[in-house]
Chain A
Amino acid sequence: AQKITQTQPGMFVQEKEAVTLDCTYDTSDQSYGLFWYKQPSSGEMIFLIYQGSYDEQNATEGRYSLNFQKARKSANLVISASQLGDSAMYFCAIGSTAGGTSYGKLTFGQGTILTVHP
């Protein structure tokens, strides 16, 4: 079984500042992937970033980076230079990548609401 824990129900950040959203996970799989999704108030789920369990480098996608600490089982999302449009719910998720391919059965955390202040 897999589990994602997001301990921050809500976070506030000033525009142009960086913010870190916490995510810890638990899994018995040796090979897995960690994902972050953004859900704005309009409701759609937007993929942000992916980290494979065997990737040695932390993933980066534009202003998003994933601080992957395997020994601590944490996969925190760092958003640099926050923008007002970053205000949304953010979900961390984990999926098995057995066999080297990504399997779309993801386990999601409860989410963190990020509010960016001007």
Chain B
Amino acid sequence: NAGVMQNPRHLVRRRGQEARLRCSPMKGHSHVYWYRQLPEEGLKFMVYLQKENIIDESGMPKERFSAEFPKEGPSILRIQQVVRGDSAAYFCASSPLDRPNEKLFFGSGTQLSVL
């Protein structure tokens, strides 16, 4: 049973380019969460999605960031016109949600470096 799969593992972009980060949740999980970890800090919640729906995007920056979780395929976190401050590790997590006290299963993360 494969875990949460994120790719790419490392992504290098120049300022002004677009970054696309992909996340495939665990089999049977239909809820996806994106977190960002800046250097020397803990993870910060960005967005919570279910299939074709954004449930909570209270942690998403207002500009340049968007997320989707289509009916088919992985969840995508998209960052347009990247800046150096976007350099961070981006983690995806999934859960089935419908069971109490269910822990989140995290992927291995994507390390984004903006040159």
Contact = CB atoms under 8 A, between A and B. Distances in A.
B101 A52 contact: yes
Interface in B31-68: 31, 33, 40-45, 48, 56
A37 B108 CA distance: 13
A45 B110 CA distance: 12
Contacts of B111: 43
B71 to A, nearest CB: 20
Nearest to B6: A44
B101 A104 contact: no
Question: How many B residues touch the partner, as a band?
Answer: 20 to 34
A85 B72 CA distance: 38
B101 A111 contact: no
Interface stretch (B15-23, B77-85, B88-96): B88-96
A108 B101 contact: no
Contacts of A91: 42-43
B100 to A, nearest CB: 5
B48 A43 contact: no
A47 B42 contact: no
A105 B43 contact: no
10 contacts: A33-B101, A35-B103, A43-B109, A45-B43, A101-B98, A105-B45, A108-B42, A110-B40, A110-B42, A111-B41
* 8 nearest CB pairs, A to B: A108-B42, A45-B106, A44-B108, A104-B33, A108-B43, A47-B103, A102-B102, A104-B104
Interface of B: 31, 33, 40-45, 48, 56, 89, 91, 93, 95, 97-109, 111
Given A44-B108, A102-B103, A104-B33, 15 more contacts: A35-B103, A35-B104, A43-B108, A43-B109, A43-B111, A46-B106, A50-B101, A97-B100, A101-B98, A102-B101, A103-B97, A104-B48, A104-B95, A105-B45, A106-B45
